[in-house]
Amino acid sequence: MARKGNALVGAAFTVGAAVLLSGCGSSTNGGATPAASSTSAGPSMAADVPSGYDPCKDVPQSVLDSEKLHGKELANSDTSGGAKWRGCAWVRSNGYAVSITTTNLTIDLTRSRNFPEATEFTINGRRAISTRQFDGAFIKEACTVNVEMKDGSIDFNLSNPPSNRDTGSIDSCVLARGLAEKVVPSLPANA
């Protein structure tokens, strides 16, 4: 069962990453390429992912246990346009799948994409935004929460189909924000 869950985690992350960059530029190997990483007229993309926090090692085990998350799988990704994600993904049996990664995509850049249901808030004194980055029938099944870090953000990309017995009736953005609220206090103050 863990093998199936890990495949779902990887698929959820890959689709989420591609959707985030959709409309940004050309697509290469299934991922979209941002049109420009820096302009004077709009938000820019940081050169690299934030340092000082490795989600694969630094997400507290107590948080993973409280959310019943298991099956850690590497969730690193790069696009030819410079967008990068570094971290891991987990799955909850009969529940959601999530990747928690650091990314060079900033809150301002995410906001500039005008995703549906974008909601800005703060977590532990850091700017945050939740967005629906899927189109059509899947829009309510997934949510991405980005929380500001120096030179980018920490990205919670959560997939929660309604067929999931334990979490399927809970809004995916509620789940993603709740998880972010548990993880973000573990970020170093200078990250």
Sketch the domain layout of the chain as residue ranges: 2-32+43-186
The pLDDT, as a whole number, for residue 152 is: 97
Taking residues 122-135, what's their average pLDDT?
93
> What is the value of pTM for the model shown?
0.80
Closest CA relative to residue 59, chosen from 145, 158, 174, 184 = 184
The pLDDT > 90 percentage for the chain reads: 70
Mean pLDDT of 106-120: 95
Rounded to whole angstroms, how far apart are CA atoms 125 and 127? 7
Element (H, E) at 14: helix 2-21
pLDDT single digits (tens) 74-90: 999 999 889 999 999 99
Tell me the C-alpha distance between 119 and 14, whole Å: 23
Strands 152-159 and 84-92: unpaired
Tell me what pLDDT residue 137 has. 65
| H-helix or E-strand spanning residue 143 | strand 142-149
